[in-house]
Amino acid sequence: MDASMPFSAMGALELRERYASGALPLAQTTAQLLAAAEASQERLSAFAQLDARIIALQADHLEAGRMRGESCGPLFGVPIAIKDIIDTIDFPTEFGSPIHQGRYPIADATLVRRLREAGAIVFGKAATSEFAIATPAPTRNPHGHDRTPGASSAGSAAAVAAGLVPVAIGSQTNGSMIRPASFCGVYAFKPTRGLIPRTGVLEQSPTLDQIGVFARNIDDLAAVVEVISGDDGVDPATRGLAPRRLLELSRSDPPLPPRFCFVRTPWWSRMSEEAREACEAFVDVLEGVVVHTELPPIVERTVSWHQTINNAELAHCLRNERARSPELLGGALQERLRAADAVSAIDYLYAVDRIPHVATAFDEYFEHFDAILTPASLGAAPPISESTGDPIMQTVWSFAGLPSVNLPLITLADDLPMGIQAVGPAGQDARLLRACRWLVKTFLERTGN
C-alpha cells in the first residue's frame, strides 16, 4: 500500500484497512469526502441526495464500535453511493421522478442492508434518469462537463470517476452499467443475472433488471459483490444461489494463461473510426492472447426481443404512475409506454422464451475462451446535448443475463475514456474477474504502464 496516496484516491479495500487499523480517522475523512461531494454538485450533479447529518451518524457509530473492540466488517467505513432506485430508510428514494418526490421507504433494500452489516457507509443517493429509463439525470461526465456520463446509472459512474466515493451501486436493464463505466473511465461489474437480489429495487423490467457495482479496481468489484450476493428468500431470480467467494478466487493465479476472443459485433460500422482503430490496436498489443472471431447470427435478433420484453414490463410496472399522474411523466417515457401498448402477449412470451436459447448460444465460445471481448461503447461519450449514448454493445449480454465487466483501458482524443467489455459464462463470475485481472496486468505490462 502506498503510504503517500491521498485517501480520496484509495480503493475500498485500502480505505477499509486503514480505517479498521485506526491509521485513518473515519469521521474526519468521511467529512472531507462529503465536503468534496457537496462542492462538486454544481458542476457534476452526481448525487440526488446528500445529508451530512446522516453520513456523520453512520461514521460515528462505526468508529464507536471499533473503539469498543467490536470486529470491523469487510467493508468497514467504506463510503458507497446508492443509485436512486434502491430503497434506503434514511435517504429518500425517488426514482428520478417528481411523482415520488420525498418518498421514504419503510425498509432498506436487501443489498443495502447487507452493505450496512458489512460496515459500509451509505453515502447518499446517486442521480438517475426518470424511472431509470427516460429523461436523463442532470449529471455530467467528470472527463468533460459537456459530455454525457451515460445512462441511468450516470450518477453512480460519475461519483466514482470523480473520486467522490470508491464504490457505487448501479443497475442495468440494457446498457446502464457498462456504458456509463466506459464513458467515465471506471471499472464496472454486472454479475450473472440473479446473483444480487433486487428486493427493494425499482422494478422496471423484472425479467431483465440486474444490479451491478462501479469501482476503481477489480478487487473492490469482487469484494462488494461478494457481500451483497446470494439468495435473500424474496427475489425469485436469486433462488438457491449461495453468496459467491469472489475476492479470493479472482485474486488467484489462473491454472493456465487465459484466452480471449474479440468480436467486432454486428454494430461495428456504427462505431467512430477512432474507436475502431483503438480497439484494433488493443487486440494487436495482446497478440497471442486475443484472437478475432464472429458472433452467431442470433445476436442481431436480441435487440427486438429485448425491446419487446422491456416495453411490456415497463408499462406493467408503471401502471399506477401512468393512471394517477400521467402529466408528471416525461415525453420520452410516455412515448415508450405508448409503444408498449402495441406489444402482443404472443410476441412478449416468445421473446421471453428466447432468453435461455440466446444464453446457451455462447457455450461453445466458453469451451475455448475465458471471456468474450467487445467494445464497451460505440466510442467516447457524446455531447450531453445529443444523447446518453447507445446501449447496443450491452443488449445481447443483458438479454442473456451473462456477467460482464468494463475494463477502462482505452483513451481517445481529448483524454476521453472508452472501455473494453469482457463477458463470461453464466455463474462463473469469479473466473471472469480472474481472467480480467490477468488481462489488465498483461496489457499494462505490454504497453509499459
Residues serving a catalytic function are 83, 152, 176
Distance (Å, whole) CA 449 – CA 443: 8
d(CA 68, CA 248): 29
Task: List the grid coordinates of 109.
Answer: 433494500
- CA separation for the pair 56, 43 (Å, rounded): 24
Residue 11 cell numbers, joined: 480503493
Angstrom distances, CA of residue 21 to CA of 31, 72, 438: 19, 9, 30
The contacts found for 41-44 with CB under 8 angstroms, 24 or more apart, are 43/140, 43/145, 44/139, 44/140, 44/142, 44/145, 44/158, 44/162
Supply 273's cell numbers. Answer: 473510426
Phi then psi for residue 307, to 5 deg, are -65, -40
Q: How many whole angstroms from its chain centre is CA 118? A: 20
Sign, CA torsion 297/299/303/308: positive
